[in-house]
Amino acid sequence: MEEDQLFMRRCFDLARLGKGKVNPNPMVGSVLFLGHKVIGEGWHKQFGDSHAEVNCFNSVLSQNRAKVPESNLFVSLEPCCFHGKTPACSDLIIEKKVKNLSISTTDKTPKVNGKGLAILKSEGVRIQTNILEELGNWFVKVRTVFVTKKRPYIILKYAVSNDGYLGQPNKNIWMTNPISKRLVHKWRSEVGAIMVGTNTALTDNPKLNNRYFYGSSPLRIVPDRQHKIPASAALKDGTIATWILADGKKESSPSKNLQYISLPDGAAFLPALFDRLVATKIDTLLVEGGATLLNSFIDAGYWDEARIFETAVVLEKGIPAPILKGGNEVVEKIGSDRLVIRYREG
Ligand SMILES: NC(=O)c1ccc[n+]([C@@H]2O[C@H](COP(=O)([O-])OP(=O)(O)OC[C@H]3O[C@@H](n4cnc5c(N)ncnc54)[C@H](OP(=O)(O)O)[C@@H]3O)[C@@H](O)[C@H]2O)c1
Ligand SMILES: [Zn+2]
């Protein structure tokens, strides 16, 4: 059993190599063991490219190919069973005559969700499931939200003063330390989209790009229903794809990167935004404040994770930080800041 966990951990290590490159597909890793020897390894490297199982079989050296049917295939996620961008992995496993398959968790994509395993079982493949299942589910949590809730995985992010404020109206106040700032830029490199409220765009004039870490910058989103954000705002500089959620009247776009999108008002606003994001295959949304925007997500129950920097700054008065209840808390010290990450249950 311990050995199975060790092999599955190797699958997770491989899966992790696809981080930020495979979205909205899940990160998946796969290993072929013959006895105690690894004869193949693969992972899903890039969205649209071959799946982990295909790369794993392809990595087997010619002298070991005849032994594939006797080996045990470990995959961090249930093999797919439909022809999407690539052929079904369940068909490939049958074709390779693999007799033993071990997985961590099922793929919650409605077209799969146990069907991949059922097909393989009906072909006589012995299947072992639930190896480090909790960790396996954690690896595909973004995908699971994307396919079951049909919205992006939502991460709320904000900094709080020592006395519980998010900031002060019309004042650009920096609260976190430079290391936390760099970490936020790393997070920006890992998400598909980032959003702030209208007042934050006006007060802080943020660039919302990734300047302090490797990788790309996400799509920027800002509501501007009353057309308050000036053309000179950093968010309108046209350097990165940006959605301005402006009601009704169309504004001319000075750049092809700038897109004006009209969405319904009220409770339908966020679901309509999620539909647009899902249609654009964006599976993660980082919401960076301010309080009004964050509270609109919290009140509607639209969050999966919150990353809160508790800082040493004292403001004495200002805009109260959102109150978040529930979730499992993980705390990390980052110099003078305390980073609290809450994972919502269910
Ligand atoms: N500490 C931090 O981490 C942090 C982060 C960001 C900002 N801040 C600070 O927070 C302050 C701004 O916060 P704030 O609460 O005043 O404003 P905000 O959340 O940035 O913006 C609020 C405005 O955005 C629009 N909006 C927000 N949610 C919406 C929704 N669900 N649907 C449609 N429109 C929506 C509305 O604009 P309209 O009324 O025009 O329609 C609303 O009045 C600034 O001082 C800023 O510096 C702090
Ligand atoms: Zn597959």
CATH number, position 37: 3.40.140.10
Q: Are residues 118 and 243 in the same domain?
A: no
Element (H, E) at 55: helix 52-58
Q: 203 CB under 6 A from ligand 1?
A: yes
Check whether residue 127 and residue 215 sit in a common domain: no
Is any atom of ligand 1 closer than 6 Å to the C-beta of 343? no
* pLDDT classification of 57: cutoffs 50, 70, 90: very high
User: Two tokens at 312?
Assistant: 């040493």
Same domain, 114 and 244: no
Specify whether 166 is located in the same domain as 108.
no
Q: How far is the CA of 163 from the centre of ligand 1 (A)?
A: 20
Say if residue 109 is in the same domain as residue 198: no
Distance CA 103, CA 75 (A): 5
Query: Pick from 96, 112, 141: which residue ends a domain?
Result: 141
Q: Which residues contact 83 (CB under 8 A, 6 or more apart)?
A: none
Same domain, 189 and 271: yes
Residues 171 and 270 placed together within one structural domain of the fold: yes
pLDDT per position as a tens digit, 320-334: 999 998 889 999 999
Assigned token pair, 277: 């994001």
Do 137 and 195 lie in one domain? The reply is no
Domain end call among 110, 141, 172: 141
Q: 113 with 194, same domain?
A: no
The predicted model gives 257-283 an average pLDDT of: 95
- Does the CB atom of residue 161 touch ligand 1 within 6 A? no
From 154, 156, 158, 166, give the residue whose CB has the most ligand 1 atoms within 8 Å, as the site to mutate: 166
pLDDT of residue 225: 92
Residues 6+ apart with CB under 8 A from 247: 225, 226, 262, 263, 265
Say how far apart CA 106 and CA 139 lie, in whole Å: 12
User: What is the predicted pLDDT for the residue at 248?
Assistant: 62
Domain count, the chain: 2
Q: Are residues 166 and 64 in the same domain?
A: no
Q: Are residues 99 and 165 in the same domain?
A: no
CATH of the domain at 200: 3.40.430.10
Q: Give the mean model confidence (pLDDT) for residues 25-34.
A: 96
Q: How confident is the model at residue 8 (pLDDT cuts 50, 70, 90)?
A: very high
Tell me how far the alpha carbon of residue 78 lies from the centroid of ligand 2, in angstroms. Answer: 8
Residue ranges making up the domain that contains 109: 2-141
At 252, the pLDDT band (50, 70, 90 cuts) reads low
223 with 305, same domain: the answer is: yes
Q: Which of 117, 141, 165 is where one domain is finished?
A: 141
- Atom of ligand 1 at shortest range from CA of 196: 20
User: What confidence tens digit (pLDDT) does each residue in 177-205 have?
Assistant: 999 999 999 999 999 999 999 999 999 99
Q: Whole-angstrom Cα distance, residue 186 to residue 313?
A: 23
Determine whether the shortest distance from the Cβ of 265 to ligand 1 is under 6 A.
no
What percent of the chain stands above pLDDT 70? 97
Which of 2, 41, 53, 316 is the catalytic position?
A: 53
**Quick check: bond before 326 cis, omega within 30?**
no
pLDDT digits (tens, 9 = 90+) for 143-157: 999 999 999 999 999
Cβ–ligand 1 contact at 298 (below 6 Å)? no
Quote the pLDDT of residue 237. Answer: 94
For residues 6-10, average pLDDT: 96
Beta bridge partners of 328: 343
Whole-structure pTM value: 0.93
